[in-house]
Amino acid sequence: MLDVKKLPKDFFARPFNVGDCFDRGVHTVIGFGALNKKKKREYLRRMNVSATLNVFRLFIQPQLCLPHLTVSSFDRVPLPLPNNKVKAVVLDKDNCFAKAHDDKVWPAYEPYWEKLRAQFPDAQLLIVSNSAGTNDDIGHGQAKLLEERTGVPVLRHSTKKPGCHGEIMEYFIGKGVVSSPKEVAIVGDRLFTDMLMANMMGSYGVWVRDGVIRSESLICKIERFVYDRLISWNFTPPS
């Protein structure tokens, strides 16, 4: 039986995502059964149910996690984008334009950040994070801080990626920015959330493969392995 006392102190303070049970060395089913009621409620509140459920789509359509464009780092995303239909861009935060668990643009990316904001001003650029702006972000304090530091709006959303595409489109359409998901680009470092969401929407997916610091977590290694295999088998992302 799992000894809950041996878990890291911040185990329940971090959002849960598909694959996290492997990253943190705990099997979800065994671990959940060993928790008291309070910790079970905290686990369920932070668990990314959207990613956990939607990832099963990949067993039927594995190409849904493939990007339309792959770059090594955020500042390598070409401007203008190769897809000239794009009128709005969604940005992931952690290990995309910011270091993981940091709420500001990575210093080396600041010149590029200003070019991106000039290319997609005001409501055309939107940060969508699975931490800042979610229900885990009490009072949306993290979202407000991120907006102050970046000058870019942060989406407030109740469903985490990849399931929040409806809330994204509601935001952009409400601002009069786009009329179709095909006019939206999703930029992020995760295949099973960011790129899966892009393809579920019918949008343009840009995968930041290495990010600020190349992650060696098990789930990221799995994503890179899956990507390499799918490409070698001649899979392509949905058009």
| Contact call for residues 222 and 19 (beta carbons, < 8 A) | yes
Q: Give the model's pLDDT for residue 50.
A: 59
Tokens (6 digits) for 49: 């149910």
pLDDT at position 228? 98
The percent of residues above 70 in pLDDT, for the chain, comes to: 78
pLDDT of residue 64 exceeding 60: yes
Reported as a single tens digit per residue, the pLDDT across 93-104 is: 999 999 999 999
* pLDDT per position as a tens digit, 73-120: 999 999 999 999 999 999 999 999 999 999 999 999 999 999 999 999
> Which pLDDT score is estimated for 198?
98
- For residues 18 and 200, the model is more confident at 200
- Residue 170 in this model has a pLDDT that exceeds 80: yes
Q: Which pair of structure tokens corresponds to residue 12?
A: 């329940």
Whether the per-residue pLDDT at 157 is higher than 70: the answer is yes
Query: Are the C-beta atoms of residues 146 and 154 closer than 8 Å to each other?
Result: yes
pLDDT of residue 49: 61
- Distance between CA 143 and CA 146 in Å, rounded? 5
Mean local confidence (pLDDT), 188-217: 97
Q: 60-232 — its CATH code? A: 3.40.50.1000
* Count of CB atoms situated within 10 Å of the CB of 196: 28
Q: Using alpha carbons only, what angle is made at residue 116 by residues 111 and 120, rounded to the nearest 5 degrees?
A: 155
Is the bond preceding residue 162 a cis peptide, omega within 30 degrees? yes
| Model pTM above 0.85 | no
Q: Where are the domains of the chain?
A: 4-47, 60-232
**pLDDT of 166:** 96
**Structure confidence by residue, pLDDT tens digits, 22-59:** 344 333 444 545 556 655 455 445 555 656 677 788 99
Does position 201 have pLDDT exceeding 60, yes or no?
yes
Distance separating alpha carbons of residues 32 and 44, to the nearest angstrom: 9
